[in-house]
Amino acid sequence: MTQNLTLNNGIEIPALGFGVFQTPPAETTEAVAAALSTGYRLIDTAAAYGNERGVGDALRESGLTRDDVFIESKVWISDYGYEETLHAFEKSSRKLGLDVLDLFILHQALPSAFDATIGAYKALETLLAEGKVRAIGVSNFMIEHLTALLEQTTIVPAVNQIEVHPYFQQRELRSFAAERGILTQAWSPIGGITSYRPDSAKSTFTDPVILEIAGAHSKSAAQVMLRWHIQSGVQAIPKSVKPARIAENFDVFDFELSADEIARIDALDTGVRGGPEPEVITLETFGREIPED
Ligand SMILES: NC(=O)c1ccc[n+]([C@@H]2O[C@H](COP(=O)([O-])OP(=O)(O)OC[C@H]3O[C@@H](n4cnc5c(N)ncnc54)[C@H](OP(=O)(O)O)[C@@H]3O)[C@@H](O)[C@H]2O)c1
């Protein structure tokens, strides 16, 4: 059994999805196929991941109808600006082999070129009006970026996809978004980014509190973290290339965390992000060309 959340324009989105960041292009079709056969109905990819083609192939090979699966992708910063982002949609649409995307979002705010960020978002508004995307949103926007965006554009983003896991919870930003009808999507929802770090002894997967709660429910640390997101109203998109983990991460609809267990996980926040500070994202540091095909 799974469940859906409703975006601010009435579109439904699965509460639990599947991410493919760092999934090599050659392994993407297989991983997404495993996810779809497990029951996931939301796939999160991005132009910058270089694996949109594999997502589209898995969808076509799955035998599922297009309406059964929610496909989300992201525009990379090198394609910001109004015309450039309209063209970025054509590139993503072509690679995915889909005329319509369910959710298309800006991958990052570009604080040093915010006019181009606004131009990119206005292109998303045009794509929405034309029916080429069913919902639009942003990723890695902080309160100041959302505030500036809301002042200069018309459509309130449906989502803000940000780093959220027990060690970095972004509560103020999540409340700000929720008050404006913006759904928070959690990237690195099981703290994958904490285990990529050199000090990976401090990984969410080996956290004693999470492991104790997991033991009490005969579940894994990952399952407890995903349950924490679901019960907190945060949409999560865990990634794995391993079929057993793909299945494990979806097997989270048959147990419930108590209020006390939720509070204990809430208390694990360190306030330290694993990903880059949004302010350091510039075309010079992170820009790179997104190929046409
Ligand atoms: N918008 C953004 O800027 C942004 C940034 C990062 C990520 N994302 C999105 O969010 C998705 C998830 O984030 P993420 O991939 O960084 O982190 P994650 O889903 O929290 O963790 C993934 C990592 O954990 C491992 N893993 C998966 N399931 C596990 C389990 N049950 N037990 C132990 N280890 C497990 C995976 O390895 P194996 O694959 O080997 O199983 C991988 O190393 C991405 O795929 C992407 O779609 C977006």
* Nearest residue to 149 via CA among 175, 110, 92: 110
Q: Is 224 in the pocket of ligand 1 (CB under 6 A)?
A: no
Catalytic residues: 49
* Cα-to-centroid distance, 44 and ligand 1 (Å): 11
What does the pLDDT read at residue 62? 97
What does the pLDDT read at residue 290? 97
What b/e readout covers 12-33, taking b as 16+ CB neighbours within 10 angstroms? ebbbbbbbbbebeeeebbebbb
Mutate to test the pocket of ligand 1, among 32, 169, 190 (most ligand atoms within 8 A of CB): 190
* Cα-to-centroid distance, 120 and ligand 1 (Å): 27
Q: Is 240 in the pocket of ligand 1 (CB under 6 A)?
A: yes
Please compute the mean of the pLDDT values over residues 150-168 and round it to a whole number: 98
Q: Is 32 in the pocket of ligand 1 (CB under 6 A)?
A: no
What tokens appear for 221 in the block?
């640390």
31-74 pLDDT, tens digit each: 999 999 999 999 999 999 999 999 999 999 999 999 999 999 99
What does the pLDDT read at residue 194? 83
Q: Is 82 in the pocket of ligand 1 (CB under 6 A)?
A: no
Q: For 23, how many CA atoms within 13 A lie in the half-sphere containing its CB?
A: 29
What does the pLDDT read at residue 177? 98
3-state secondary structure of 114: helix
* Cα-to-centroid distance, 161 and ligand 1 (Å): 14
What does the pLDDT read at residue 199? 60
Closest residue CA from atom 19 of ligand 1: 238
Backbone angles phi, psi at 181, to 5 degrees: 80, 20
Q: Is 278 in the pocket of ligand 1 (CB under 6 A)?
A: no
Q: Is 247 in the pocket of ligand 1 (CB under 6 A)?
A: no
In ligand 1, which atom is closest to the CA atom of 245?
A: 31
Mutate to test the pocket of ligand 1, among 240, 252, 286 (most ligand atoms within 8 A of CB): 240
Strand partners, 185: 161, 235
Percentage, residues of the chain above pLDDT 70: 98
pLDDT tier at 232, thresholds 50, 70, 90: very high
Kind and range of the H or E run holding 83: helix 82-96
- For 140: left if phi > 0, alpha if psi spans -120 to 50, otherwise beta; the answer is left
Tokens 């969410």 locate to 204
CATH code of domain 7-286: 3.20.20.100
* Residue 1 predicted with pLDDT over 70: no
What does the pLDDT read at residue 200? 54
What does the pLDDT read at residue 245? 98
**Under a CB-based contact definition with an 8 Å cutoff, are residues 77 and 287 in contact?**
yes
* Residue 82 predicted with pLDDT over 70: yes
What does the pLDDT read at residue 197? 64
Mean pLDDT, rounded, of the chain: 96
181-216 pLDDT, tens digit each: 999 999 999 999 987 666 655 799 999 999 999 999
Q: Is 19 in the pocket of ligand 1 (CB under 6 A)?
A: yes
Query: What is the model's pTM?
Result: 0.98
* Residue 104 predicted with pLDDT over 90: yes
Closest residue CA from atom 29 of ligand 1: 245
236-291 pLDDT, tens digit each: 999 999 999 999 999 999 999 999 999 999 999 999 999 999 889 999 999 999 99
3-state secondary structure of 18: strand
